[in-house]
Amino acid sequence: MAKREVVLTVEKLKKAYGPVTIVEGLDLKVHAGEAVALTGRNGAGKSTVLRCIVGADKPDDGSVKVLGTKMNETNPEIRRSVATVIDDLDFFPDLSVVEHLDLLARAHGIHEPDALVDEVLEEVQLVPQASQLPNTLSSGQRRRLALATAFVRPRRLLVMDEPEQRLDVEGIEWLGNRLREELADGLAIVLASHEPALLKAINAREVRLGEPRG
């Protein structure tokens, strides 16, 4: 895989809520093997930009392209390329931890899904909770499950909103190491984070968002 391939291109992104302009004229390029961190104060627009990038929110202006193709959540090629960890509330209530991961791995046509799911469960330390339903997990365990969903599926771009939330110190250290490996394999990462240790671990390029105007 070419290391310097441009995976994500954001051009002149604008998003406003009513009279308040959250972001305007934002340009961003993220290459394979590179991590970009959106930083800025609470309310600066980090989550808004991430939602526009993954197609969960519609920009008022500008464009988002993944591997040269205009972002579109319903395009199967894009869905195969983009893994997101935006929140950890988005689970099927009646599927267990292992069933979630299994479903995702199979739906994305992963070769030997059972082996990968076992490996990732072990890594996120959810083996004892494998048969529990999401609403019975602790908040940190739910975050680990959300992170696990990104690692059992194909991905070229990983988009994460404060992935460190509710992780313990060891968990943040694990995440930094894991993401470093992903970068070495050519993954492109865009994240919002308030955790300097994580940003340092993955050598993230910082893009600081200013205050919303209006």
Ligand X SMILES: Nc1ncnc2c1ncn2[C@@H]1O[C@H](COP(=O)(O)OP(=O)(O)OP(=O)(O)O)[C@@H](O)[C@H]1O
17 binds ligand X (CB under 6 A): yes
Q: Is the Cβ of residue 57 or residue 123 nearer to ligand X in the bound state?
A: 57
46 binds ligand X (CB under 6 A): yes
Backbone dihedral region of 111: left (phi > 0), alpha (psi from -120 to 50 degrees) or beta? beta
Interface mask toward ligand X for 194-213; x: CB under 6 A = ------------------x-
Q: Which residue among 33, 40, 134, 171 contacts ligand X (CB under 6 A)?
A: 40
β-partners of residue 31 are: 6
Within 8 A by CB and 6+ apart from 192, the residues are 37, 38, 39, 46, 47, 49, 50, 160, 161, 162
Size of residue set near ligand X by CB under 6 A = 12
Within 8 A by CB and 6+ apart from 208, the residues are 38, 39, 40
List alpha helices for 55-203, DSSP H.
76-81, 97-107, 113-123, 139-151, 169-184, 196-201
Least distance CB 56 / ligand X (angstroms): 11
Q: Which residue among 4, 19, 42, 170 contacts ligand X (CB under 6 A)?
A: 42
44 binds ligand X (CB under 6 A): yes
45 binds ligand X (CB under 6 A): yes
81 binds ligand X (CB under 6 A): no
Positions that interact with ligand X (CB under 6 A): 17, 22, 40, 42-48, 192, 212
